[in-house]
Structure 1
Amino acid sequence: MSTETLTGERADQLAVLGKARHLLRLTTRDLTDEQVARRTTVSELCLGGLIKHVATVEERWADFAVRGAVAMPDYSAMTEADFARWGDQFRMLPGETLGAVLERYAEVARRTDELVATLPDLDVRHDLPKAPWHEPGSSWSVRQVLMTIVAETSQHAGHADIIRESLDGAKTTG
């Protein structure tokens, strides 16, 4: 089944996710690589880094929906060096371009949309990976994973809107 022929819950989830993705990408309209790498608040976040982060998170959760906790890092065992590398997803690194970041995000989105269209059952549950923010022994359904991807994307689209407005006064909405 293709995403164009979806109806019901899956179509609704993808429509909401698609809107959030659009708003996130829209925050980078008419900007240079230098501008999307610029921090405009006390946060470490920049527009390009936010899109990198959202792409990484979506990719991991989509993989989790299929393979379970083995698709995720064991956050409880991460070292300082691991967390430093993890932090690279929040900023633009030397040589990275907005075009490449947006292209990767589009590919991740395409794969997620296809997964949503083809997964046989949204009620399948997987144990969550070990992490300080997950209750030990808890599990999520694929449906919860999809809602998390939507929530994460929407939250970071809001962050991106603040960063963009701080950068040059432009607003994504309003």
Structure 2
Amino acid sequence: MTSDSAALPGERADFLQTLDTHRGFLRYTVRDLTDEQAARRTTVSELCLGGLIKHVSGVEARWMRFAVGGAPAMEAAEPGGAVAWEERFRMTEGETLAGLLEAYERVAAETDALVVSLPDLDRVQALPVAPWFEPGATWSVRRVLLHVIAETAQHAGHADIIRESLDGAKTMG
């Protein structure tokens, strides 16, 4: 969490503290791993630890673009070019765990700064057209933040299972 948000009162501080807690669980789960370990699948799932870091980072960045610019901003090409769907969940040639964690830190800092600076968490945007969204539905910035927190927490749990399958290490307990 940024130093600006540490002194932030109210729900914004609560959102950022909760998000930072779950980001921390996810980062802690990949502690002391090699790139090879971070890229290894340990369950029948396609997920690996490095891929989860990459996915959560991308999800957070896309939803924050949505919070500011709506569906067109969310659907805009990723910095560095479009990434194939399946590559959002795994480490690809040339990627390192350290690089993925650095990118995640940058996304986290951008999100924190955005949450601090946005004038209104009630601002709504129309959701993108997708089968999992009700047609014409909108989300507020507040709802986006809750979604990002839930997504991060869910994937931190996935990461814990993968890590325990990899070498027995656990995030908690």
The answer on 1:128 being equivalent to 2:130 is no
- TM-score when scaled to structure 2? 0.93
The answer on 1:150 being equivalent to 2:149 is yes
Counterpart amino acid of 2:165? S
Residue 37 of structure 2 is matched in structure 1 by 35
Counterpart amino acid of 1:12? D
Query: How far apart, in 1, do the equivalents of 2:47 and 2:24 lie?
Result: 19
Query: What fraction of aligned residue pairs are identical, expressed as a percent?
Result: 64
SS at structure 2 position matched to 1:45: coil
Shift of 1:4: 2.6
- Residues 12-161 of structure 1 aligned to structure 2 (within 5 Å): 12-73=14-75, 85-161=84-160
Query: How far apart, in 2, do the equivalents of 1:111 and 1:91 lie?
Result: 23
On the 8 A contact 2:62/2:75 being kept in 1, the answer is no
**Structural RMSD (CA):** 1.5
Q: How many residues align?
A: 166
- TM-score when scaled to structure 1? 0.92
Shift of 1:87: 1.2
Query: How far apart, in 1, do the equivalents of 2:149 and 2:6 lie?
Result: 19
Shift of 1:10: 0.3
SS at structure 2 position matched to 1:126: strand
Query: How far apart, in 1, do the equivalents of 2:12 and 2:74 lie?
Result: 24
Residue 162 of structure 1 is matched in structure 2 by 161
1:50-75, CA deviations, whole angstroms, 9 ceiling, x for partnerless residues? Answer: 0000000000000111001112239x
Residue 10 of structure 1 is matched in structure 2 by 12
SS at structure 2 position matched to 1:93: coil
